[in-house]
Amino acid sequence: MRAGYGPEPAHIISKGMHKMKNLLVKLWKEEEGQDLTEYALLLVLLSLAAVGALGTLAKAINGTFTNAAGNLTT
């Protein structure tokens, strides 16, 4: 409803709804966005795997340096 002008004419609303529907159909069928989304999900998965592996790697490095420090003091 337009302020002070009364309700919108039905043909204007229908035309706007038709444009919105066409835009949504175009976005749904477009494959470039899907490829980008797949790459983003792959990047997130690899990042989570790297973060998960850092804990194990940190323990291994800490053990190596602890062993080296122990060998230096004896």
- The predicted pLDDT at position 73 comes to 79
- The predicted pLDDT at position 7 comes to 60
pTM exceeds 0.85 for this model: no
Q: For the segment 6-34, what is each residue's pLDDT rounded down to a tens digit?
A: 566 666 667 777 887 887 787 777 766 67
- The predicted pLDDT at position 47 comes to 94
- State how far the Cα of 9 lies from the Cα of 19, in Å rounded to an integer: 16
- Is residue 66 scored above 70 in pLDDT? yes
Structure-model confidence comparison of residues 37 and 66, the more confident one: 66
